[in-house]
Amino acid sequence: MFLRLRLPLLLTLLAGLVPVVAFFFKDEARAVKAPASWLEQDMIIVAGFALLLGVVNVVQSNMKKIERRDKGWFFAVVLLGGMAVTGLVGALGAFRIGGLPGIGNYPDGRPTPFAWCANYLFTPLQATMFSLLAFYIASAAFRAFRVRNVAATILLVAAVVVMLGRIPVGEGVFGRFTEWLMQIPNGAAQRGIIIGAALGAASLSLRVILGIERSYLGLDKGE
């Protein structure tokens, strides 16, 4: 029981103290700084390993859908196919197998198969999904900005003034006021949020280091 419950909490405590202590020392204090920088490099690698955890889950659940011929199983085939092809040409490139120069372009500018997938499948899909925001921001504004009460009215007026201040037809009237709104009142509100949230985050850190907050480990036994 000690191992299962206390060991993880002890490791959290130790791993948490390393960067905190290192933070207050100069670079010359190598005995303190070195473990922190090792841990930093190591955590990047751990995160790299974690991706496969996700891949395993995706393969398992989609294979199940295909085997059971669930509704929409065809899309599970598309998903796994896309992943297998892109992942395979990526792995071949990463290890320079089959004459591939890597995962970018050939010296003459032609794309490797992985770069082709990145340029013509991944990037346009990403950019398109991102661009849908232009539509959603309009529909959200339409629905949310109503003169319901004081707070909602302030929200509405500030948004409309800034929108007018950013286009040629309204710039002359609202341009300067827009900059003022963004810098002074908006700056003050943001600063209040940041100070409060930073203290909240620090308090959470302390709870985790002390082993009080542990739901992220599934050790939520209470006191």
Minimum separation from the CB atom of position 181 to another protein (A): 5
* Residue with smaller CB distance to another protein, 67 or 120: 120
Tell me the C-alpha distance between 85 and 117, whole Å.
9
Element containing residue 182 per DSSP (H, E): helix 168-183
* Chain residues 7-26 in contact with another protein, contact rule CB under 8 A: 7-9, 11-20, 23-26
User: Which residue type is seen at 78?
Assistant: V
- Contact 143/166 with Cβ under 8 angstroms? no
Examine residue 66 and tell whether it contacts another protein (CB under 8 A): no
Q: Look-up: residue for tokens 């010296």?
A: 107
Residue 64 contacts residue 80 (beta carbons within 8 Å): no
Q: Does 6 bind another protein (CB under 8 A)?
A: no
User: Which phi and psi angles does 195 have, rounded to 5°?
Assistant: -65, -50
Q: Does 99 bind another protein (CB under 8 A)?
A: no
Q: Which 184-223 residues touch another protein, going by CB under 8 A?
A: 184-210, 212-213, 215-223
Query: Which residues are within 8 A (CB) of 104 and not within 5 positions of it... i.e. 6 or more apart?
Result: 111, 112, 115
3-class DSSP state of 19: helix
Q: Quick check: 173 binds another protein (CB under 8 A)?
A: no
> Smallest distance, Å, CB 202 to another protein?
5
What's the closest the beta carbon of residue 67 comes to another protein, in angstroms? 14
Q: Is 178 in the site for another protein (CB under 8 A)?
A: yes
Complex with another protein: residue 69 or 135, whichever CB lies closer: 135
How many residues bind another protein (CB under 8 A)? The answer is 166
As a whole number of angstroms, the distance between CA 33 and CA 18 comes to 8
Q: Kindly identify the residues of this chain, within the stretch 100-119, that bind another protein according to CB under 8 A.
A: 102-103, 107, 110-111, 114, 116-119
Give the x-and-dash track for 27-56 against another protein (CB under 8 A).
-xx--x-----xxxxxxxxxxxxxxxxxxx
* Min separation Cβ 177 and another protein, Å: 10
| Residue 113 beta carbon to another protein: minimum distance, rounded to whole angstroms | 10
Stretch 117-146 residues interacting with another protein (CB under 8 A): 117-146
Question: Given its phi and psi angles, is residue 96 left (phi above 0), alpha (psi -120 to 50 degrees) or beta?
Answer: left
Q: Which of residues 74-93 bind another protein (CB under 8 A)?
A: 75-76, 78-91, 93
- Cα distances (angstroms) measured from residue 10 to each of 3, 15, 72, 214, 220: 10, 9, 46, 12, 16
